[in-house]
Structure 1
């Protein structure tokens, strides 16, 4: 039987909850954390599940604007810190799976390398 290239539904749920996946799925983890759409997936995993518990605030007595204000007071800082800790989270998950944490910003380094090369060509420092 060939080795799996994607996690099973149970493995995926455990992965989303913070557990590590077995070594044969390392390529999938790398693609999940650094590939196209990685930031979108990260934000969805952290920000969407919180909406249901926040909706429980609507059950409290009071006007709707007060409920929405309470929800905003909780959700806006959550979104802010989720975005702020994206890089830290990626590095942690890469280390957790035995990968090089410097892979977290490979795309950014590639863009910077291209900008650096263009700069050096423009100002006569590159061959």
Structure 2
């Protein structure tokens, strides 16, 4: 991965679906294909849900109702975000100039490399 990373404002823009400058395209590919890509998707979803959560907390009414509404909203939001994460990741890399399918192919390649490395380490340990 290149040394370029988005600054915090760019990352928030990216989390809400914005396109980053072209020099950050390699970081976007890394973001949606690295080992922790699911956690990164979850972080983006939580950032997207933050304004809604704050609005619910500011509504008038009993605190317990607002907390239940907040919890339910978070559960539904995270569920939908995680259920569409593969498509969302593909859309992000396509938006940044990569061909369709590269995100999935890159994640599979990384998984194969990790599996081969693990198997080679086991073989060395058995010898």
| TM-score, structure 1 normalization | 0.67
Deviations 1:10-33 (A, max 9, x none): 433332232222322221111111
CA contact (8 A) 1:32 1:38 kept: yes
Structure 1 gaps of 5+ residues are 115-127
Q: CA deviation at 1:69?
A: 2.3
CA contact (8 A) 2:15 2:47 kept: no
Kindly tell me: are residues 12 and 47 of structure 1, through their superposed partners in 2, closer, same or farther at Cα, counting changes over 3 Å? Answer: closer
More displaced 10-residue stretch of structure 1: 16-25 or 34-43: 16-25
* Alpha-carbon distance in structure 1 between the residues aligned to 2:47 and 2:98: 28
Equivalent runs, 1:53-64 vs 2, <5 Å = 53-58=52-57, 59-62=59-62, 64=63
Deviations 1:23-59 (A, max 9, x none): 2222111111111322111111112452464254345
Structure 2 gaps of 5+ residues are 116-127
Deviations 1:47-87 (A, max 9, x none): 2452464254345222x432232223322211110110101
Q: Determine which structure has more spread, i.e. the larger CA radius of gyration.
A: 1
Aligned length: 111
Q: CA deviation at 1:89?
A: 0.4
Give 2:31's aligned residue.
32
| SS of alignment partner, residue 50 of structure 1 | helix
* Alpha-carbon distance in structure 2 between the residues aligned to 1:19 and 1:78: 19
Give 1:122's aligned residue.
none
| TM-score, structure 2 normalization | 0.67
Kindly tell me: are residues 15 and 54 of structure 1, through their superposed partners in 2, closer, same or farther at Cα, counting changes over 3 Å? Answer: closer
Kindly tell me: are residues 56 and 22 of structure 1, through their superposed partners in 2, closer, same or farther at Cα, counting changes over 3 Å? Answer: closer
Give 1:107's aligned residue.
107
